[in-house]
């Protein structure tokens, strides 16, 4: 559950802002002596909003919590799915799109060949790399297949 909640909380935010908000969420849940799955409940929405999460992100996290509690989504099930099944499963959750599916695949499932085409930092980074050589982004991605996640990690690290 935590990996789903954290992924949603980080959507469309800088690394620094996402880390700050997630820290506040963790702190608030600990002050109430709640684990995160219990903190993401409709009775704590005002507190979670004060932590910095939008209503839509809270709605997405509470929906993901329901899927986890109903055993529709487990780490084991996600790990066993092929790419198409996996992407369908994650993006069927309200508030989870392709970017969320890609981040979960990289950071929580440890998949090594994931490239997020809609990630602004990755697009800037790969274009910078390719502008210094005689290769297109598509050619570079084919060249490093099946290790695209590693290039993504290096680009993100370089931009932090």
Residue 160 has pLDDT above 70, yes or no: no
d(CA 72, CA 112): 24
Q: What share of the chain is helix, strand, coil (3-state, %, to 5)?
A: 70, 0, 30
pLDDT tens for 3-34 read 899 999 988 888 889 999 999 999 999 999 99
d(CA 24, CA 44): 14
Q: What is the pLDDT of residue 3?
A: 86
Using CA atoms in the order 158, 17, 95, 91, what is the torsion angle rounded to 10 degrees?
20
pTM, to two decimals: 0.88
Straight-line distance from the first to the last Cα atom of the chain, in angstroms, rounded to the nearest whole number: 26
**Distance of alpha carbon 107 from its chain centroid, rounded?**
8
d(CA 68, CA 84): 20
Domains along the chain with CATH numbers: 2-107 (1.10.340.30), 120-159 (no CATH)
pLDDT tens for 90-101 read 999 999 999 999
């Amino acid at each position: 559950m935590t990996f789903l909640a954290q992924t949603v909380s980080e959507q469309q935010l800088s690394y620094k802002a996402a880390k700050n908000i997630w820290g506040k969420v963790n702190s608030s849940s600990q002050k109430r002596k709640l684990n995160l799955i219990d903190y993401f409940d409709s009775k704590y929405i005002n507190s979670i909003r004060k932590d910095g999460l939008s209503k839509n992100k809270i709605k997405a996290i509470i929906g993901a919590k329901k899927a986890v509690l109903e055993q529709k989504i487990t780490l084991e099930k996600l790990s066993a799915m092929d790419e198409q099944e996996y992407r369908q499963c994650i993006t069927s959750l309200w508030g989870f799109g392709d970017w969320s599916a890609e981040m979960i695949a990289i950071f929580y499932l440890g998949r090594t060949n994931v490239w997020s085409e809609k990630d602004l930092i990755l697009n800037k980074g790969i274009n910078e790399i390719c502008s210094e050589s005689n290769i297109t982004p598509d050619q570079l991605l084919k060249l490093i297949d099946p290790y695209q996640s590693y290039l993504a990690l290096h680009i993100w690290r370089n931009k932090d």
